[in-house]
Amino acid sequence: MEINSGSSFQEASQEEKCVLAAHYGPELEVPARSQLPSRKKEQRRRSQQLTQEHPANVPSGLGDLVLAAEWMKDTSESHCHQDSTEVAALRDHNTYCIPQEAETLKSLVRELKDTVHRQSELLFSLQGALEASQKECQALQEKVDAENWALLSNLREHVSQLETENRNLRCERDQLEATVQRLRKELDASGATVLSLSRQLRGQHRTQAPHGAFSLESVKGDAKWLRFYTSFDEYPRLTAFLDFLLDGKREEGSPESGSHSALSPENQLFLVLVRLRLGLLLQDLAFRFHISESTASRYWLSWTEFMERRLKQIPVTCSQRYVDAFKPQRLIQHHDMSLVTLDCAEFFFEAQGRTRGRDTPQGPRARYSMSGCALAAPSGFLTFGTGTGEELPTLPPFLQAGPVELTAQQEATKRQVLSLRSLTDKAFSFRFLRVVHPQNMEGQVGRAWIISCYLACLLHEPMGLP
């Protein structure tokens, strides 16, 4: 009984295993490969017997299930006697074990039918979704193809337009290059002609355009050139000197002025100062100032005479100690007054042939000299001249033997000379005194010496060293 009860328990457990295997899937123990052929033959034989014995009770399609149940039974019995087993997942419907009870089998069949039905419905739904997805994908593909075709058509049209524009631009470039080459050839051909014409035109302008007149206005803004031509450092000092000269216009008479004059008083004085400073000829001055040579000579003579008279009215004093120490010196008597003559300079002249005599050197270009001196009065005042005392018909009013009372204007213009040698150097900065003049210009050179000495006193105060 114990044995039977144990066998029945084993059979019941085997049936439960078969039911579980049929319900949850074909994950069962797999027998050894060596036993598979004989077992398959045994299963086929048993299935044939069952179909022959119970043809009416077994429904169609369950033969495989019966064979699977018997095969699982045999397999479980054989595995009980083996120490080692191989576990594998067999997903073939032939490996299912079929329970022997009819109710269990019916429930299993119903469950299988329900499972098949659900899987069929799921399959149908998946197929419908797949068909919808395929249709949507096909529609999208058709839309993409249409858009690609449209883009491709537009791109081809645009490329065609660009190629046409490129051809047109190339044609225009070729035409422009041809035009440029033609213009370059024309330019090269006419370059020499243009250059020649421009040179001729510049030459005509130079010959036709009159050169600008030389005047005080052209140099008064530049202190360097003003000092070079006049020895005045600043234009205001030059205008003040001109005002001083023109103050005695009504009393003593002044050089020609007015609308009939070719030059203004400023430019007339400028002409005289330029000749004194640089020693230019009258021809040169006439060309520079655009006047005739006779007009330039007239300005020179009238202004030098007028300047000599006005400048002698400036009081110039000197140191008696220095006068006593100056050599060479000599005494002359002029209108009952003893004057000390100080020889300061020497001027040279060319002796003309008809005037040469025993007192002048002989030779083709004989020269003689004339001294320029300073005259010192006992009162301490100083003036300038040339030659001997007999050649000095007029002297300044303050050159007297006794004390002299100066007016306020004379005190304002008073100058002091501390060194006659320094004064002589400054006077010879006027180059007119360095030139060898003809004999008929002795009077002009004498006036030029007096004017140069007074200008040196005015431009350098005090004159020299103590």
The 10s digit of each residue's pLDDT in 98-121 is 677 888 888 888 899 999 999 999
| pLDDT classification of 73: cutoffs 50, 70, 90 | low
331 CB-near residues (< 8 Å, 6+ apart): 338, 339, 340, 341
- DSSP 3-state of 318: strand
Quote the tokens at residue 255.
């050089």
98-102, 115-119, 171-175, 366-370: the lowest-pLDDT one: 98-102
Q: What are phi and psi of 47, to 5 degrees?
A: -65, -35
pLDDT at 172 over 50: yes
With residues binned 3-state (H G I as helix, E B as strand, rest as coil), the percentages for the chain, rounded to 5, are 60, 10, 25
- What mean pLDDT, rounded, does the chain reach? 77
Give the rounded percent of residues in the chain with a pLDDT score beyond 90. 39
More confident residue, 432 or 59: 432
Alpha carbon distance 227, 96 (integer Å): 139
Burial class (CB within 10 angstroms; exposed 0-12, middle 13-18, buried 19+) of 261: middle
pLDDT of 41: 61
pLDDT of 436: 92
Residue position matching structure tokens 């020299």: 464
Alpha carbon distance 65, 112 (integer Å): 12
| pLDDT classification of 363: cutoffs 50, 70, 90 | low
Query: Could you check whether the bond before residue 255 is cis, i.e. omega within 30 degrees of 0?
Result: no
Burial class (CB within 10 angstroms; exposed 0-12, middle 13-18, buried 19+) of 185: exposed
Alpha carbon distance 376, 320 (integer Å): 9
81-85, 115-119, 235-239, 456-460: the lowest-pLDDT one: 81-85
Burial class (CB within 10 angstroms; exposed 0-12, middle 13-18, buried 19+) of 255: buried
Q: Per-residue pLDDT tens for 243-299? A: 999 886 655 555 665 556 789 999 999 999 999 999 999 999 999 999 999 999 999
62 CB-near residues (< 8 Å, 6+ apart): 98, 109
pLDDT of 89: 42
Range ranked top by mean pLDDT from 32-41, 52-61, 161-170, 410-419: 161-170
Q: Per-residue pLDDT tens for 297-327? A: 999 999 999 999 999 989 998 888 888 888 8
Intra-chain end-to-end CA distance of the chain, in Å: 173
* Burial call 288-316: b when 16+ CB within 10 Å, e when fewer: bbebeeebbebbbebbbebbbebbbbbbb
pLDDT of 81: 46
pLDDT at 396 over 80: yes
The CB-side HSE value for 305 (13 A sphere, CA atoms) comes to 13
pLDDT at 360 over 60: no
| pLDDT classification of 31: cutoffs 50, 70, 90 | very low
pLDDT of 23: 44
Burial class (CB within 10 angstroms; exposed 0-12, middle 13-18, buried 19+) of 237: middle
More confident residue, 45 or 187: 187
pLDDT of 406: 84
64 CB-near residues (< 8 Å, 6+ apart): 93, 94, 96
pLDDT at 335 over 80: no
In this prediction, residues 446-456 reach a mean pLDDT of 93
pLDDT of 44: 65
pLDDT at 349 over 60: yes
pLDDT of 353: 62
Largest CA-CA distance found in the chain, in angstroms, rounded: 201
Given a contact cutoff of 8 angstroms between Cβ atoms, the answer to whether 424 and 464 are in contact is: no
pLDDT of 466: 34
* Burial call 47-83: b when 16+ CB within 10 Å, e when fewer: beebeeeeeeeeeeebebbbbbbbbbbbbbeeeeeee
pLDDT of 42: 64
